[in-house]
Amino acid sequence: MKTREVAGQIMGQLEAFDGSKAAMDTSQLLIVRGRSRRRIKPEELVSVISEVFKGLGARNLDMYSDETADILTILDEQIRSHVEIQGETDVYGIYRLKESFENMNCHADYGMGLLEDIAIFLILWKDKSGVGPMFVELVVSALEG
């Protein structure tokens, strides 16, 4: 499965395809941002991520595993090959992401999935009040050329 196909399926499943924008689109990596029309309570974000991975047949990875850290390093290298980023690679920065959303009064959850040789990093976030849309940020990467 190609990265665009996987991203399209995910954004469609989350009802976030219309109006979504690619933040980065390369031969190996696609980063897409969108706003979902689904009405989901903040406490249901984790289950929605699991549902998305299950629907694709992707394996849900433990965010704190060595395997996930290795994949995050690959994603970082893929991004850095197209965009200049100051500082060293910091795979633990992704773990601080949730805290930064919470500091903005948002509830956020994220997960990493693996579908054959395609890594999927999915972030869902919305206002803690539960009012307003759910935002989707998605990274889909072909791990092998």
Residue 5 lies in a domain: no
Residue 61 burial (CB count, 10 A): 18
Domain membership flag for residue 11: no
DSSP β-bridge partners for residue 141: 29, 119
The average pLDDT across 39-58 equals 93
Q: With 70 as the cut, is the pLDDT of residue 37 above it?
A: yes
Query: Does residue 4 fall inside a structural domain?
Result: no
- Does 122 fall in a domain? yes
39 falls within a domain: yes
Q: What distance in Å separates the CA atoms of residue 25 and residue 79, rounded to the nearest whole number?
A: 10
The pLDDT value recorded for residue 1 is 55
Asked if residue 25 belongs to a domain, the reply is no
22 pLDDT more than 70: yes
- E-state strands within 18-76: 21-25, 29-36, 59-61
* pLDDT category of residue 82 using cuts at 50, 70 and 90: confident
pLDDT digits (tens, 9 = 90+) for 100-114: 888 899 999 999 999
What pLDDT is attached to residue 89? 61
pTM: 0.89
Number of domains in the chain: 1
Percent of the chain with pLDDT over 90: 59
Range of the domain at 103: 31-142
CA–CA separation, 70 vs 38, rounded Å? Answer: 32
Domain membership flag for residue 12: no
DSSP for 39-55? ---GGGHHHHHHHHHHH
* pLDDT for res 145: 56
Model pLDDT, residue 10:
96
Give domain status of residue 130, yes or no: yes
Quick one: which of 141, 143, 127, 142 has its CA closest to 41?
127
Calculate mean pLDDT across residues 23-47.
92
- For residue 97, pLDDT over 90 is answered with no
